[in-house]
A and B are shown apart, each in its own frame.
Chain A
Amino acid sequence: MKSRNSVAKPTDLPVLMPIAERLTRGRGIGLSYDIPRLQLRAWHGLFLLGVLVFFSASAWAQQSPDHPATLAQAFIRWMPLLLKAFVFNIVMSFLAMSLGTIAGVGLGVMQLSPTRPTHAVGWFVTQFFRNAPWLVLLFFCMFLLPFRFSVFGVTVPFPDWIKATLGLALPVMANVAEIMRGAVASIPSGQWEAAHSLAFSRRQIMFGIILPQCIRRMLPPWMNLYAILTMATVLASIVGVSEVMTQTQRVLSAENRPEFIVPFYAFVLLLFFVYCYPIARYTQKLELRYAVRD
């Protein structure tokens, strides 16, 4: 039985956690306090805001009489467009996360199967998609999927942004599968033994006893993955989806004002920070809470 041998490796859990986090887990207790741990803090956001203000000021200083629109005016004019585009990024991240999680749980179950071929396929798919660059997967989806397809004579369009979302869902799927495998492996073997001794079947143990305990452990790395995915949605700009990066480029070329470049991109950065920062903080809080309880 595989699960029994790969017991209790708490380090196995985080897939995409920061290095410091990984080092502090599973080692001797003494070590964990020696490593400085960097965390996203509010002042990181203030720093970004500072960059934005600084370059806005310098853009304002560079203002020449033949350029009528001020930076503030440009911001006001384009703000609705950029915000709408950012909402689009978030929609893509939500969709990709949902699809990726559903598929990833399926893949994880395959990977944990005692049947060898099923396990092997699950393992291979996970490894493949986890170790392929996200951008390459995105390109594959863009160029391999048709732009429309027919079901029962009805032609369903398959727009670029859906293809991009699928492309982003693939690595999410593999990472979710891996998070799940790690979480299952981190459950002490005694749980399996006790459940087996009570005559539960393997399936009952997996779904009734092991996985419910895993959800708690999976939540922090899963949320971490979501934050990473959200930031990765800008990759879709490379394949021409009208998300916030693409729109910013368009705005900048329409304005044709080099001094606007840095303020506008700083603004985009700030948008992502404002969205991802609370997620990161909440993840940290969860991790801390679980670390205390375990």
Chain B
Amino acid sequence: MPSETESGSVTAGKSATAEPMISLSNVHKSFGDTEVIKGISFDVAKGDVVCIIGPSGSGKSTLLRCINALVPIDGGSIRVEGQEVHDANLDRLALRKKVGMVFQQYNLFPHKNALDNLMMAPIKVLRQDKKEVRERALKLLEKVRLSGKEDAYPGELSGGQQQRVAIARALAMNPDIMLFDEVTAALDPETVKEVLLTIRELAEEGMTCILVTHEMGFAREIADHMYLTDRGVIVEHGPPAEFFDNPKDERTRSFLGQIL
């Protein structure tokens, strides 16, 4: 469970085992004149699963994109495994090798079949041996229950299948952290289950995960810690039982009331 320690006290050294895997402190982000994130701080410990919920436009996707430096921040600090993400000298590629991300719209590469989607990055980015990567990719497809779909192109797969390929594609890089941005929002209820099952297995294996989701039941089951964002700030956070059963903030209550 993430502690409430001052994240500013975290040093670059990796000695302390208590050091959070991801640490955000007072993060600010604006697009033009609109400030989308207005000072968000939280820590994620290794192996923890954190769920972020909140109304549309509250900056959840932007926050995730800041963590793997897809979007630069304007203020504050984000540390991943002790390294400052928005340091100008940071090797972004090195960071992104450690952080996998899955998107709402799957974003598979449509001109490559499922297996190639998995194999591309490890071969081209990590420069790993093709045969090894192939074996690992086949195992991963099996893990997400898509054996036999190796040769299928994304256009030939259902939404749920595409999303599982996307998860496997991120896993093929052997990341330490996985970010999920509303990965079931574009799916029909039947296929949502398959994808959630895959994520649950990952979480049980001890993957550090940050999930943005609207699946409240799932979040409650799987999360170690819940956060509710609204208009760029964290309104409420806590362990799921407390968060769902005993929300303190009025905005949390009304949001949960709408959703549940």
Interface residues of A (CB under 8 A from B): 188, 190-191, 193-201, 204, 208-209, 212-213, 293
Looking at the assembled complex, report how far the CB atom of A153 sits from the nearest CB atom of chain B, in whole angstroms. 47
Stretch from B79-87, B102-110, B141-149 at the A interface: B102-110
Closest to A216 in B: B111
Q: Out of A201, A209, A293, which one reaches B93, CB within 8 Å? A: A201
Interface centre among A194, A199, A201 (most CB of B within 10 A): A199
Contact of A199 with B173 at beta-carbon distance under 8 Å, contacts A204-B124, A208-B120, A208-B124 already known: yes
Interface code B53-82, partner A: CB below 8 Å = 1, 0 otherwise?
000000000000100101000000000000
B100 interface hit (Cβ, 8 Å): yes
Cβ of B99 and Cβ of A213 under 8 Å apart?
Answer: no
Contact of A193 with B109 at beta-carbon distance under 8 Å, contacts A199-B173, A200-B125 already known: no
Looking at the assembled complex, report how far the CB atom of B160 sits from the nearest CB atom of chain A, in whole angstroms. 18
Contact of A196 with B109 at beta-carbon distance under 8 Å, contacts A190-B103, A208-B120, A293-B155 already known: no
The 3 A-B pairs of least Cβ separation, nearest first, read A194-B107, A199-B96, A190-B107
Contact of A209 with B109 at beta-carbon distance under 8 Å, contacts A190-B103, A197-B68, A197-B101 already known: yes
Contact of A191 with B96 at beta-carbon distance under 8 Å, contacts A196-B70, A198-B125, A293-B155 already known: no
When chains A and B are docked, how far (Å) is the Cα of A201 from the Cα of B125? 8
Looking at the assembled complex, report how far the CB atom of A184 sits from the nearest CB atom of chain B, in whole angstroms. 14
Contact of A212 with B101 at beta-carbon distance under 8 Å, contacts A198-B96, A198-B121, A199-B93 already known: no
Q: Which residues of B contact A188 (CB under 8 A)?
A: 105, 107
Number of A-B contacts (CB under 8 A): 57
When chains A and B are docked, how far (Å) is the Cα of A201 from the Cα of B126? 12
Cβ of A198 and Cβ of B103 under 8 Å apart?
Answer: no
Cβ of A199 and Cβ of B97 under 8 Å apart?
Answer: yes
Interface size class of B (residues with CB under 8 A): 20 to 34
Cβ of B105 and Cβ of A196 under 8 Å apart?
Answer: no
Cβ of A198 and Cβ of B173 under 8 Å apart?
Answer: yes
Q: Which residues of B contact A204 (CB under 8 A)?
A: 124-125
When chains A and B are docked, how far (Å) is the Cα of A72 from the Cα of B82? 88
When chains A and B are docked, how far (Å) is the Cα of A208 from the Cα of B123? 12
When chains A and B are docked, how far (Å) is the Cα of A198 from the Cα of B100? 7
Cβ of B124 and Cβ of A213 under 8 Å apart?
Answer: no
Q: Which residues of B contact A191 (CB under 8 A)?
A: 107, 109
Looking at the assembled complex, report how far the CB atom of B180 sits from the nearest CB atom of chain A, in whole angstroms. 12
Looking at the assembled complex, report how far the CB atom of A231 sits from the nearest CB atom of chain B, in whole angstroms. 33
B170 interface hit (Cβ, 8 Å): yes
Interface centre among A188, A191, A194, A212 (most CB of B within 10 A): A194
Q: Out of B94, B96, B109, B110, which one reaches A197, CB within 8 Å? A: B96
Contact of A196 with B96 at beta-carbon distance under 8 Å, contacts A190-B107, A293-B155 already known: yes
Cβ of B103 and Cβ of A193 under 8 Å apart?
Answer: yes
Q: Which residues of B contact A198 (CB under 8 A)?
A: 96, 120-121, 125, 169-170, 173
When chains A and B are docked, how far (Å) is the Cα of A31 from the Cα of B96? 43
Q: Which residues of B contact A208 (CB under 8 A)?
A: 120, 124
Looking at the assembled complex, report how far the CB atom of A127 sits from the nearest CB atom of chain B, in whole angstroms. 27
Q: Which residues of A contact B110 (CB under 8 A)?
A: 213
When chains A and B are docked, how far (Å) is the Cα of A195 from the Cα of B107? 9
When chains A and B are docked, how far (Å) is the Cα of A196 from the Cα of B103? 12
Looking at the assembled complex, report how far the CB atom of B194 sits from the nearest CB atom of chain A, in whole angstroms. 20
Q: Which residues of B contact A293 (CB under 8 A)?
A: 155
Looking at the assembled complex, report how far the CB atom of B115 sits from the nearest CB atom of chain A, in whole angstroms. 15
Closest to A199 in B: B96
